[in-house]
Amino acid sequence: MIVLEQGSTVAEAMTLFLSRGVSRVPVVGESADEVLGVVYLRDASRLTFEKPKQAATALIDELVKPALFVPESKKADDALRQLQLESNHLALVVDEYGGIAGLVTMEDLIEELVGEIVDEYDRETADSEQLGENSFRVSARMPIDELGDLFGIELDDDEVDSVGGLLAKHLGRLPVAGSTVTVDGLNLTAERTEGRRKRVVTVLVEADQALLDARAAFATDRDREDSE
> Quick one: average pLDDT of 112-136?
67
- What CA–CA distance (Å, rounded) separates 47 from 58? 9
* Closest to 152 in 3D by CA, of 205, 223, 104: 205
pLDDT of the residue at 121: 45
Position with higher pLDDT, 20 vs 13: 13
> Is 3.90.1280.20 the CATH number for 1-67?
yes
* Closest to 188 in 3D by CA, of 170, 172, 173: 170
pTM of the model: 0.51
Domain boundaries, the chain: 1-67, 128-212
> Quick one: average pLDDT of 176-185?
87
> Quick one: average pLDDT of 47-68?
91
> Quick one: average pLDDT of 61-88?
87
pLDDT of the residue at 224: 65
Domain 128-212, what fold? 3.30.465
